[in-house]
A and B are shown apart, each in its own frame.
Chain A
Amino acid sequence: MNHPDECLQCGTCVTVCPVEMVGGHAIVTFLADPDATDYSVWLCTSCWRCQEACPGGVSIYELMMEQRRREEAPAGYRAAFESVLACGLALQVPQEELDQMRAAWGLEPTRLPPPGLARALLCAEDGDRW
């Protein structure tokens, strides 16, 4: 990942990052110190606090997402993505189970998307990186 020219390395992003607050190191660690290696863009929580606070106007969120697309994903992300490709949603709950759950809670039935729809929308083809 190239360190963005607009980044002042002021460290404001580190002070507002909720991941840093719990002892993790996300993209802000790299922004504050381009030589840092002990961080992971997969730890970012998509809370947008760093970008909102950044005095240099760096598009940190986009930078983080672009880097994720170049890297191998952790198991949790991969499983959720595979599920979206398979059934359109992050978890795989069959229509019948959903119908029963909603009926038990007094909620009207709702139809799941057709299988394969999300994959088609995302143009996922065999041989794609993901």
Chain B
Amino acid sequence: MGLKLAFYPGCLVLQRMPEYEVATRAVLRALGIELEIVQQATCCGSPVVESFTADWVYLAAYNLALVEQMGHSTIVTVCGGCTNTLTRAARVLQDPDLRAEVNHRLESLGLSVTGRVEVRHLVRLLAEREEKVRARIVHPLSLRVALTNPCQVFRPGDIMGFDDPMEPQSLRRLVELTGAEVVEYGGEDECCGATLYLASPDLALAAGRRKLEAVQEADLLLHGCGNCQLLLRRFQRMIVRDERNLRKPALLLPQLVGLAMGLPEGELGLREGTWR
């Protein structure tokens, strides 16, 4: 029998990037994992809500409570921000006084939270099943890939508890599993620009441009967070305008892994033959 885990897409993927969910489901299904989406989930709470109120934790706790109500103990995430926020919330909810306060507010919704839910970003979920992934690779890719580490998945190190917080290696290892060559360009931990866009679109596009200029040797960009994909793929036209030489295809991690697993492009949220 396969494993069934809860899935929290977060605002961006739910509302604007269904291809990320499609590809995530396809790759995990190939590994024997089914995802059950969290119904009526809200924004995780950060960094937007946290920027306005310390009560952001109530929003995060609501989402964790929904997962507990579903009877799940693990929630799969695909965005860095949600991963970070939900993990930090689960940690602070270990404080019994705060938990009691939060549960008092959740009571009217018929919910309660223990904060014992494990939050697993897709990068971590796959990295923890490296051998299973390797066994499924049937179509090694001859591509040169420039990756960007999802910044909020690895830090703060003492809370996220996964990989090297300042020089994470798990995404690189997963890309290498697909047969693709990882092009080192020095900007793997630099900002994609997405979060900057909320405060300064100019600076955000400058960050994206800096990346595109640095990855000329690569065939494509590879992302493990919807925000990176948003800025560097969806907004790429705003960055490069007429400079065709700067254009670069961009894939999400499960799309690359899925291709190496021999899954059809259409099942990975890719328009067949056109994503290159």
Contacts and interface: CB of A to CB of B under 8 A. Distances in A.
Q: Is the interface of B mostly helix, strand, loop or mixed?
A: helix
B32 interface: no
A77 B201 CA distance: 12
A126 B243 CA distance: 49
A43 B210 CA distance: 17
Interface residues of A, number: 52
Given A43-B203, A48-B156, A121 B105 contact: yes
A68 interface: yes
Nearest to B19: A105
Contacts, number: 171
B97 to A, nearest CB: 18
Interface residues of B, number: 57
A21 B190 contact: yes
B157 A52 contact: yes
Contacts of A69: 51-54
14 contacts: A18-B190, A21-B191, A22-B210, A46-B195, A48-B84, A49-B155, A49-B166, A88-B42, A89-B11, A91-B16, A98-B15, A105-B269, A117-B42, A121-B58
- The 4 A-B pairs at the shortest CB distance, nearest first, are namely A48-B155, A18-B191, A76-B198, A47-B151
Interface of B: 11-12, 14-16, 18-19, 21-22, 25, 37, 39-43, 46-56, 58-59, 62, 81, 84, 105, 109, 151-152, 155-157, 165-166, 189-191, 193, 195-201, 203, 206-207, 210, 269
